[in-house]
Structure 1
Amino acid sequence: MELAGKVALITGSASGIGKEIALKLSSLGADVVITDINRDGIQEVVQKCRSLHKHKALGVYADITSESDVKNLVDKTVEEYERIDILVNCAGICPKSYFHDPDYVEVFDKVMNTNVRSVQVLTQLVVPYLETTKGNIVNISSVCAVVPIPMTMAYCMSKSAINMFTKCLAMHLGPKGVRVNSINPGSVLTPLLGENAQYMVKACGNNYPLKRIGETVDIAESVAFLVSDKASFITGINMPVDGGAALVMRLY
């Protein structure tokens, strides 16, 4: 298996895209760390990885906005595996709030703290281990980093920040043998869509060039490629995996 002997830490991995990434990397031989705020979801994914793929899986509860939780996450990972080869920063939030809404600044602070600041804190703690293993990082960004949507303005800005973080960190860590890339998904069918799921399926079918909404497996396969040796000469890219969404003026 391509990732045999590797240790992959994936945030937001109790459901949706993060869960699919964890299952995919586990299927390729990696020992995975499942972390989320959803305790039940963590255990479900851990058991699935263990039963389906016969590889190690560690579940750690963590609120990524809590620095003490993040430190505990890294400590438990290293205590269990003694190394980290892959970091996938997947956890994030996407609340709706227009700029004129009274709570916009409050929403902005929460989004930036969750989607941007927490990534800095965790990545800074993990990088020393990645330097030792010549590992790599994949940040889950969004097509919204380049396609503006007024009702999720704060989210769009947070993902633009992740795109630039990816490029800057790739330049910084490249000489140390660590690769850093990001995936920019379009709309993906996950529980996060909630009651809007059917609307989004129809909207993407009408507007995306590939005429369908994204599936979690689409993102997981792309991450698997970027963390593998097949992508050993790729760093600093923001890879669109969006069904062509960024080619059109509107997403839906």
Structure 2
Amino acid sequence: MVADFTSKVVLVTGASTGIGEAIALLFAKLGAKLALVGRNVENLANVAKRCEAEKGLKPLQIVADLATDAGCDKTAMDTILYFGRLTGCVNNAGVGARTNILLTDMQTYDRVFNTNVRGVYNLTRQLVPELIKSKGNIVNISSISGSAVSVGSLPYSMTKAALDHFSKLIALELAPRGVRVNTVSPGVTVSKFVQRLTDYTEEQYKEWLEEARRSVPLGQVCTGEDVAKMVVHLASDDSALVTGTIVQVDGGLQYNTVGSLMQKQIKTK
């Protein structure tokens, strides 16, 4: 059954690139009215244009930094003022870091936690009243790094573990009010995310992906579209009795040796 979102209003954060872009485009293809949040004005406008081309529905573009209270306030206010309601929220925006306890500093910690945890917490609490009214749902985008330990993933993996627990907590709290909360945890995914955290050239990144692919039990790394399909499934009425779940989209990588595949090793002092 193909999900139908023609009567739905969905907010997607981190929609200007990567997984968020793929999620936005699939929702647009299925007829959803969209509020798209990102920090890069040009990229966000490009994604919005492509979404509009799917069904002729013009998304609301919100340029905001969700690591800040002002960014969360603006996102919640603009979305509700524009649409008057909300039926779905996809918390996808996130930033990474590659460090370890010998090299890290509190600036890195604050930067990653402010976006990946505090921003999700702050934005979600503001949107929950509207989601209760619509009996809507939340899908949070985590990572298998939230449960898999690897050298160099501090503090990113901590934020994803926190996000997983947050999702389960509010799923329990909101279930009696008719709001579902689920989490999608991608494995190695083709995107610019790893390249932004490393000094990889395009060729080196392709080699890294190939190394990762060989260790994935199903033999394939993820794409943004793979993650988007699971997000849409969990957000659809086909998942009406699904809440509090953490669904891995990783080809089985979590059950294999993750270690050096997830992060390039960092030299310590």
TM class, shorter-chain normalised?
over 0.9
For residue 193 of structure 1, what is the amino acid of its counterpart? V
Q: What whole-Å deviation, never above 9, does each CA across 1:177-230 have from its counterpart, x for those lacking one?
A: 000000010010012232353133212221110112111100000000000000
- The answer on 1:158 being equivalent to 2:139 is no
CA distance in 2, matches of 1:27, 1:39: 22
| TM-score normalised by L of structure 1 | 0.96
Check whether the contact 1:97–1:104 (CA below 8 A) recurs between aligned residues: no
Identity of aligned residues (%): 31
The alpha carbon displacement at 1:104 in A equals: 3.3
Instruction: Tell me the secondary structure at the aligned position of residue 220 of structure 2.
Output: coil
TM superposition outliers: structure 1 runs of 4+ over 2 Å: 103-106, 193-197
- List gaps (5 residues or longer) in structure 2: 262-269
After TM superposition, the structure 1 = structure 2 runs for residues 10-49 of structure 1, keeping only pairs within 5 Å, are 10-49=12-51
Q: Which residue of 2 aligns with 1:96?
A: 98
Count of residues in correspondence between the two structures: 251
The worse-fitting range, judged by mean Cα deviation, of 187-196 and 8-17 is 187-196
State the partner residue of 1:176: 177
Q: Which amino acid aligns with 1:166?
A: S
From 242, 252, 260, the equivalent of 1:234 is 242
CA–CA distance in 2 between the matches of 1:47 and 1:124?
Answer: 29
The residue aligned with 2:189 is 188
Amino acid at match of 1:248: N
Task: Specify the alignment match of 1:82 in structure 2.
Answer: 84
Q: 1:246 aligns with which of 251, 254, 261?
A: 254
Distance 1:52 1:167 in 2: 34
Which one of 207, 214, 228 corresponds to residue 220 of structure 1? 228
Tell me, yes or no, if structure 1 residue 108 matches structure 2 residue 109. yes
Query: In structure 2, what is the Cα distance between the partners aligned to 1:60 and 1:123?
Result: 16
8 Å contact from structure 1 (residues 184, 238) kept in 2: yes
Return 5+ residue gaps in structure 1 as ranges: none
Q: CA deviation at 1:76?
A: 1.1
Which whole-Å CA distance do the structure 2 matches of 1:220 and 1:140 have between them?
10
What one-letter code is carried by the residue in structure 2 that aligns with 1:59? Q
Deviation, structure 1 residue 54: 1.5
CA contact (8 A) 2:97 2:154 kept: no
Which residue of structure 2 aligns with residue 67 of structure 1?
Answer: 69
Q: Provide Cα deviations, 1:45-86, integer angstroms capped at 9, x if missing partner.
A: 111111122223110101001111211111111111100111
Instruction: Give distance in 1, aligned partners of 2:33 and 2:11.
Output: 9
Cα root mean square deviation, aligned: 1.2
Give the aligned residue type for 1:96.
Answer: R
Structure 1: distance between partners of 2:206 and 2:55: 32
Contact 1:200/1:213 (CA < 8 Å) preserved in 2? no
**Which amino acid in structure 1 is aligned with residue 111 of structure 2?**
K
Q: Which letter maps to 2:138? A: I
SS in 1 for 2:61: strand
Letter paired with 2:125: Q
Distance 2:139 2:12 in 1: 9
